[in-house]
Structure 1
Amino acid sequence: MILPGSPHVAYRGDTLFIEDCPLAGLAAEFGTPLFVYSQTAMREAAAGWRSALTGRDHLICYAMKANSSLAVLQTFIEAGCGLDIVSGGELERALAAGADPERIVFSGVGKSRTEMRQALEAGVLCFNVESEAELDVLSAVATRLRRTARISLRVNPDVDAGTHPYISTGLKANKFGVAHQRAVAVYRHATTLPGIEVAGIDCHIGSQITEVGPYLDALDRVLDLVEAVEAEGIRLHHLDLGGGLGITYTDETPPAADALVRALLERIDERGHGHRRILFEPGRALVGNAGVLVSEVLYLKPGDAKSFCIVDAAMNDLMRPAMYEAWMGIVPCRRRDAAPSIYDVVGPICESGDWLGRDRALAVEAGDLLAVLSAGAYCMSMASNYNTRGRAAEVMVRGDSAWLIREREKPSELFRGERLLPKV
């Protein structure tokens, strides 16, 4: 039985496998909570984007904020991807994973001077600049270093991506990007600044987008700007169309990556811009359905109004439900031949917001294992140490082989850098 999401997470009989590895066996070996990723799923997702861009000058930059574990980055680098970063820390991770700096784009609305210096010294491909103030600071930093910063302006097209407000980034009420009506003037200003080289234009309208329409609307507005900017004599070499393509958590039907890319390329060609280099920055679409979070059932707590299935994973491991009220599939790692009961699946953290799923029909007992599906993106990368809980271990599988790619954190590691006050 194949579940929503990746075909590489499926039941064989009553046992849940990821590729050829039973999840219960991985939990026995590595403990819980445990993130497990299918490398094959990641490679196939990247191949879908690459095949759609065959014959085009392009660069697919994996948006590493979705999942920045080194082995995940290594997988995408080896698959031919560049990386999209949003912090100096992510730059260090990218380089540690073996990324070529000339295949890294630096996004983000609040780059510090230190981060700019770090990226300039590393030699990143491009800065996606999000404000006039940032542009002026980048010019000053680059000039001081005697370097040239290649830039794209991230423009805000005021297009509704039809997604959750917290992950919508393309409306004029959002903090991201340069307003559409200011873009030409900001490009003019960029050409006057020392240490700045205009390279392209960038647009990203949100995350977990499940329709092609918003992308086409944004693209049309971006191409209008390209034509207006080039009418000023300013050359734009590349179009960075961002990411944000959604995945299937339950019954969503997002377009396949190749269908989305084909639709965008057709529009680009229709408008006479097929000669430009194309950049994409997918994150969730590459890694989201490749991962699961395995957790042990600690207690079942029946009640009059609600019954609770208390597990050892918590909101510090999986913030998406608490932050976005996100729905994520939760299934047993071994199915029981018993009638299900309705539970809220909750964790041990002392917050009412510590829940992984509400009103789930499950046939479980204490000691059973549950798998939270589609947990490859914005799960481990958003994990915290709240309640002094160590972050979970991570495992990568390919076929019937499994590798520990991150050790489980120990409490002593969490306060290693802290100091007691001197006794007086």
Structure 2
Amino acid sequence: MATYGSPLYVYSRTDIEDNWRQFDQAFGTHPHLVCYAVKANSNLAVLNVLAKCGAGFDIVSVGELERVLAAGGNANKCVFSGVAKTVIEIERALEVGVRCFNVESASELQRIETVAKSVNKKAPISIRVNPNVDAKTHPYISTGLKENKFGIDIDEAIDLYKKAQNSEFLDIQGLDCHIGSQITDVSPFLDALDKVLALVEQLNDQGIHIHHLDLGGGVGIDYEGEETIDIQAYVDAIISQVGKTEIILEPGRAIVGNAGIFITKVEFLKQNSDHEFAIVDGAMNDLLRPSFYNAYHNVLPINQNPTGITAQWDIVGPICETGDFLAKNRDLSLSEGDYLAVMSAGAYGFTMSSNYNSRPRVAEVMVSDTKHQCIRKRETIQDLFAQEKLYGY
């Protein structure tokens, strides 16, 4: 903290590499591509570490595509997901040669075909089906139910595949499915796979052949002592059912979630008759998950002070919102000036941060063994309004 200040995100290069290789090596010699979900943590250094490992990337915007390219990733290892791809995004993805578009609607399929025709290219596509499987996760990160905005009803997919097969500018590559995030039970994944494989058989009967199955991401991590999914057992269960078909997975949180922490400083301790508050310099604009999802992150003191006050603390920030908290009811011994580590913050931490209350976004640091390096400078106050102008005629 003496070098980089507070608040601060810190990531472990070794953990990121090990977590990605756990997925990659689980497949052995079976054809596969492990595409890191860029939305989880899109820092260029993180993407570069994964690109050097040989990772593919799951992207949901042209911004994420450009980040991957800037970090040394290969476009031909990128699958382009997302429900609202624009003409400009499709054009750019075709220009650089993305691996596949994961198509989310009939209208999108039509747009991709139109754009591909305009640039005289054949667009590789995979249709994302919605299998109506309940992942039993937070409703905001559930994606595989009929009431969710994602994908195409599995019962309607065959007609779209027929349309794609008859198009001069569409190239059917695969079938895609993603049911949600932070899933800690393998059974929803396997239920979805059963439905996907039944659709593959129907497509085969129609003379439509699938080269890969993209089974999405969503593997959860341990935030609060949860029992998580055995990656090898999960991959073995997939391989046992798919023959020689290539498999694409899109893990994000499982790669970076537990490879990162958020460090914050205790500014004030405030106690009243009913509650104890540890007011820290980090806030909901820096780490939104607790406020947005009521998510749990373990909080550990970095410099345990023997003279601290032991109580059940709410860890709260300086934002003018009652919802601005990082943790509640934590038994800790604290003193003003202590530093706290908010654990499991590598995924959906910085990527969801904002400048709310005109607060500069924090720095990011990567560590490897005994080495450390700033991989994103802390914003300045001037950065906040550098792109703004006073109104005048």
TM-score by length of 1: 0.91
1:115 corresponds to which letter in structure 2? E
1:374 aligns with 2:344: yes
User: After the TM superposition, which residues 290-369 of structure 1 pair with which residues of structure 2 at under 5 Å, given as runs?
Assistant: 290-337=259-306, 340-369=310-339
2:108 corresponds to which letter in structure 1? E
1:210 aligns with 2:184: yes
2:98 is matched with: 124
2:365 is matched with: 395
User: How far, CA to CA, are the matches of 1:119 and 1:305 in structure 2?
Assistant: 56
Alignment counterpart, residue 231 of structure 1, candidates 205, 218, 235: 205
Q: How many angstroms does 1:339 deviate by?
A: 6.0
Alignment counterpart, residue 177 of structure 1, candidates 151, 164, 168: 151
* CA offset digits 1:284-335 (Å, max 9, x no partner): 0000000000001010110122211000000010010111000101110022
SS in 1 for 2:334: coil
Q: Percent identity, please.
A: 50
The answer to whether the Cα contact below 8 Å between 2:309 and 2:334 also exists between their aligned partners in 1 is no
1:261 is matched with: 235
1:279 aligns with 2:248: yes
SS in 2 for 1:363: strand
SS in 2 for 1:29: coil
User: After the TM superposition, which residues 77-226 of structure 1 pair with which residues of structure 2 at under 5 Å, given as runs?
Assistant: 77-226=51-200
2:37 is matched with: 63
* CA offset digits 1:51-76 (Å, max 9, x no partner): 11111111100001000000000111
Q: How many angstroms does 1:230 deviate by?
A: 1.3
2:321 corresponds to which letter in structure 1? E
* CA offset digits 1:253-308 (Å, max 9, x no partner): 11132221112222x2xxxx311111000000000000000001010110122211
User: How far, CA to CA, are the matches of 1:421 and 1:80 in structure 2?
Assistant: 49
The alignment of Structure 1 onto Structure 2 pairs a total of residues equal to: 392
1:409 is matched with: 379
User: How far, CA to CA, are the matches of 1:55 and 1:192 in structure 2?
Assistant: 34
2:387 corresponds to which letter in structure 1? G
- Consecutive unaligned residues of structure 1, counting only runs of 5 or more, are 1-26
* CA offset digits 1:90-139 (Å, max 9, x no partner): 01101100111100110001111111111111110000000000000110
User: How far, CA to CA, are the matches of 1:311 and 1:193 in structure 2?
Assistant: 58
Q: How many angstroms does 1:38 deviate by?
A: 0.7
User: How far, CA to CA, are the matches of 2:301 and 2:168 in structure 1?
Assistant: 59
User: How far, CA to CA, are the matches of 1:263 and 1:336 in structure 2?
Assistant: 48
1:186 corresponds to which letter in structure 2? L
1:21 is matched with: none
2:374 corresponds to which letter in structure 1? L
1:47 corresponds to which letter in structure 2? R
1:294 corresponds to which letter in structure 2? I
Q: Once superposed, what is the RMSD of the aligned Cα atoms?
A: 1.0
The answer to whether the Cα contact below 8 Å between 2:264 and 2:339 also exists between their aligned partners in 1 is yes
1:9 is matched with: none
User: How far, CA to CA, are the matches of 1:44 and 1:146 in structure 2?
Assistant: 41
SS in 2 for 1:340: strand
User: How far, CA to CA, are the matches of 1:399 and 1:259 in structure 2?
Assistant: 30
* CA offset digits 1:67-90 (Å, max 9, x no partner): 000000011111111111000110
1:15 is matched with: none
1:261 corresponds to which letter in structure 2? V
* CA offset digits 1:356-397 (Å, max 9, x no partner): 001111111111100000000000010101111111100000
The answer to whether the Cα contact below 8 Å between 2:305 and 2:335 also exists between their aligned partners in 1 is no
Q: How many angstroms does 1:422 deviate by?
A: 2.3
Q: How many angstroms does 1:205 deviate by?
A: 0.3
SS in 1 for 2:273: coil
User: How far, CA to CA, are the matches of 1:379 and 1:39 in structure 2?
Assistant: 17
User: How far, CA to CA, are the matches of 2:239 and 2:119 in structure 1?
Assistant: 38
Query: Stretches of 4+ moved more than 4 A in 1?
Result: none
User: How far, CA to CA, are the matches of 1:381 and 1:34 in structure 2?
Assistant: 13
- Consecutive unaligned residues of structure 2, counting only runs of 5 or more, are none
User: How far, CA to CA, are the matches of 2:123 and 2:367 in structure 1?
Assistant: 39
1:384 aligns with 2:354: yes
